[in-house]
Amino acid sequence: MMLRHYMLMAMRGFVRHRLYSFINVAGLSVAMACAILILLFVRDQLSYDDWIPGTENLYRLQVTWYELGGSLLPTALSPFPTLNAMKAEIPGVEAVTHLVPEQMTVRAGERQFLQTVTVVDPNFFQVIRLPLIAGNPATVLAQPESIVLSQSMARKYFGRSNPVGRVLQVSGVAPFQCKPNDNDCFSATHALRVTGVLRDLPHDTQLIADFVMPNTSRADQLTPDEKTTGWTGTFGNNSYIRLAPGTRQDKVLDALRPILDRSIRIRPPQTGSGLEHYSLTPFRDIHLTGGRVGEMKPTGSRTTVYGFALIAALIVLVAGCNFMNLATARAILRAREVGVRKVVGARRMELAVQFLVEAVCTTLVSLAIALSLVEILLPFYDRFLQEPIRLHYSSDGMLLVGAAVAGAILLGLLSGAYPAMVLSGFRPAATLKSSGGAHGGSGLLRSVLVVGQFVVSIGLGIAAIVIFRQIHFARTLDLGFDRYDMVVIKSTANISADARVRLARVLSAGPGIVGAALSNVVPFDTGWSFNEEVHAPGEVTGTTAHLVTISPEFPALYGMRLLSGRFLAEDRGQDMRTGLSGKGVLINAEAARRLGFTVAGAVGKEIDIGTSPLQVVGVLNDAMKEGLRSAEWPVIYVADTNDSTLLSVRVRADHLAQALAFIDGTWRSFAPAAAMQRYFMSDAFDDLFTSDERQSTMFIAFVTVAILIACLGLFGLVVFTAQRRTKEVGIRKISGASTTDIVRLMLWRISVPVLLANLIAWPLAYYYLQRWLQGYAYRISLDPRYFLAAGAAALLIAWATVYANTLRLARANPVRALRYE
């Protein structure tokens, strides 16, 4: 009965004080809606692979290469033999399995597509327990020429019929698995029998598993030599290891070092463990702690996820501050009510409970509105994130009850605690004597809350400016090559070296095509790249460089600048000779710098790769082929079409459709049994920033909401303060103060907390943003203007809010002002 009375009083308060009720409910509703949307995103990021059973002691083994010159190359991969040696020699290693994504043409009847086939150890489904709907995990990959399909791929190739027992034809080899012009090797196909069907994996997994094939099959692109002796190569191997319960990771890695020293043969005094640094990442943590070379899918960032969770907390905090601020400010208006209730026998605890119930009612009403907003916005949110984020009331009951409702109640209790304490503590005699009442120190609290709101708003504003500027900087930075109107064909690895050269020549003369060139890597796709130790003759130390094989047309096709010397040419026997020894090569400016040469002085110099001497014939500008998060590496460009399996074709923008049709038709004539994969390089560049831009847009949107909520609360506080200062303004005007004097006074009073907030927000924002920018090798500097702009914007918003209300009050008739209250 008492609770019903309290709730009825709360509803009457909503109706009686419409402006304050609207500000509180609107601010809290929008804040909680934003917090729920953010928490759904956070939950999605934290859910990666936690749905797979039995992964508590499962880890990914990954290697960081120590390169000459002090560079580090962190990868998500590891050499193939390492895992087998650990299983055989290190106690506590229960099971291991390899996973290698390989591009193959998959055909069933007339259906033919280029697909990613996941090549694994036969025990894969026993180590990583993915959900099979047909087949036994222990035997499904026991036969070498077998394959497991996902549900969607089974429907794609076999329709509604049962795929188990059916046959798929696969083709596609690694370029170094065949002799350069062995056409029979390149065109070989293998028949694989479907032995199982895998439930379609959800989006929140690091794994790709539409086609799963055992690495005992003859269709595997890795050679037996690479599986047994390739201790210094990764070749796309994702390695997973299960440790016995209680086994310490550091002990396992310590036991690995002598194995590396024994197995890797390099020049003393360097050791195998000094060349390769291994680490173990828990399987469920890979998505948020990855970001290494060779990840199967784009990874997230734990810093970003926790950063968004912090933003959700700050948005709710700003709304809670608004609520508390207005509640304590309005305490004076309820002084008479408290006095009368105390005179007729109300106790302080009863009054405090009443005010807390009112606060909780406000937050629960706001939560109901917030959930309605989430339902409206969630479809747009899904499309924006490009991930199926859903709020299911049946399966998400714990989220709603445990987090949303409990959170709303907690927010109401915390926000209403101090106002309830202030209101219930009023003395009846003092409050009944005057309508002014007593508000017991709440002015100081209001000042602290106002400063806190501005600290949050200014800090988030600075962050929004810096993130926007960094993304803009990244998009407009000169990459050192022309990425526009470039089509890359990846599937040429499935035809012989001679056929690739002929294909490039035919395409170069095609309609709407400027030219074509071969290479083993292209910007933003490392392909089959190699790292080599390079040094000047007679020098003991040198550097590690990327060895990029190209056809001579490659630099000019990409618009790369020749800084000194000449380009490679087909009519130069030195450039086109077989083998490395004595070849003329191009290097980039970074390689010249690390080798101790000037750009002009490098031309004509001899450099050594192992025992093979090379002659530098030209120096190219640095081209950021790996994006902006990685610093530029030394690069050596060698003319060699045998290992160049990527074909770049520059098309004319005004003849795009004609050029693409010619490319597709020419490919079918050269490789009718192989599916083609092509893409635009500009799209690959955009993919580098898709995640950053999406997250920056989210960040800016939520920051804007936080600032608007703060402005809404400031507006309500200013309106109330203006009403409370009506008599003061009247006295000042009678004493000779002008409208300008009064407005200037009020603006100064709001300026003090804003200026104080700047002093607090600037160092906090600087510290966080400086660390965030460290993730980019090419980044902006933290310009003081960003901080001044955010601070000035906060001050202008505060001035505008105060000015509108103060001007009306200052122009009022002082006689009416003196009659007020």
Closest CA to 338 of 422, 428, 416: 428
For residue 107, which phi and psi values (nearest 5 degrees)? -135, 140
For residues 820 and 697, which has the higher predicted lDDT (pLDDT)? 697
406 three-state secondary structure: helix
Are residues 555 and 697 part of one domain? no
Q: Are residues 212 and 238 in the same domain?
A: yes
664 and 570 assigned to the same domain: yes
Contacts of 400 (CB under 8 A, 6+ apart): 371, 393
Please answer whether residues 713 and 318 qualify as being in contact, where contact means their C-beta atoms are separated by less than 8 angstroms: yes
Residues 465 and 533 in one domain: no
Residues 538 and 653 in one domain: yes
Residue 304: inside a domain, yes or no? no
Cα separation of the two ends of the chain: 36
Same domain as 231, residue 183: yes
Task: Among 247, 276, 310, identify where a domain stops.
Answer: 247
Give φ, ψ of 404 to 5 degrees. -65, -55
* 71 assigned to some structural domain: no
Within-domain flag for 40: no
Considering the domain architecture, whether residues 81 and 226 belong to the same structural domain is answered as yes
Closest by alpha carbon to 359, among 322, 407, 413? 413
CA distance 440 to 318: 23
Domain range for residue 553? 496-670
SS3 letters across 159-183: CCCCCCCCEEEEECCCHHHCCCCCH
So what's the pLDDT on residue 441? 43
The one-character DSSP state at 404 is I
Answer yes or no: is pLDDT of 730 > 70: no
- Pairwise CA distance, residues 244 & 134, whole Å: 29
Rounded-to-integer distance, Cα 542 and Cα 325, Å = 65
- Tell me, yes or no, whether 647 and 736 share the same domain: no
CA distance 316 to 429: 38
Pairwise CA distance, residues 602 & 373, whole Å: 64
Out of 199, 218, 247, pick the residue that ends a domain: 247
Helix (H) or strand (E) holding 694: helix 681-724
Q: Which of 230, 247, 264 is the last residue of a domain?
A: 247
The verdict on 639 and 765 lying in the same domain is no
Q: What is the reported pLDDT for 183?
A: 67
- DSSP label at residue 632: P
Quick one: 117 and 216 in the same domain? yes
Q: Which of 41, 493, 97, 81 is nearest to 304 (CA)?
A: 41
Asked if residue 257 belongs to a domain, the reply is no
Are the CB atoms for 40 and 51 separated by under 8 Å? Answer: no
User: Is 348 in contact with 78 (CB distance < 8 Å)?
Assistant: no
As a dihedral over the C-alpha atoms of residue 118, residue 50, residue 64, residue 238, rounded to 10 degrees, the angle is -10
Identify residue 749 by its one-letter amino acid code.
Answer: R
Q: How far lies 740's CA from each of 10, 235, 733, 812, in Å? A: 40, 75, 11, 13
User: How do residues 381-436 score in pLDDT, each as one tens digit?
Assistant: 888 888 888 777 666 656 665 667 777 777 777 776 766 666 666 565 555 555 44
Question: What's the residue count for the chain?
Answer: 821
* Amino acid sitting at position 345: G
pTM above 0.75, yes or no: yes
Q: Are residues 703 and 607 in the same domain?
A: no
Task: Assess if residue 485 is contained within a domain.
Answer: no
pLDDT, tens digit, for every residue of 490-522?
877 777 888 889 999 999 999 999 999 999 888
Is 333 contained in some domain? no
**pLDDT given for residue 726 in this prediction:** 61
Looking at per-residue pLDDT, the higher value among 357 and 771 belongs to 771
Does the pLDDT of residue 727 top 80, yes or no?
no
Examine the domain organization and report whether 703 and 821 are in the same domain.
Answer: yes
Confidence of residue 437 (pLDDT cuts 50, 70, 90): very low
451 domain-assigned: yes
110 vs 792 pLDDT, higher one: 792
Domain count, the chain: 3
Percent of the chain surpassing pLDDT 90: 29
Is residue 354, in this structure, part of any structural domain at all? no
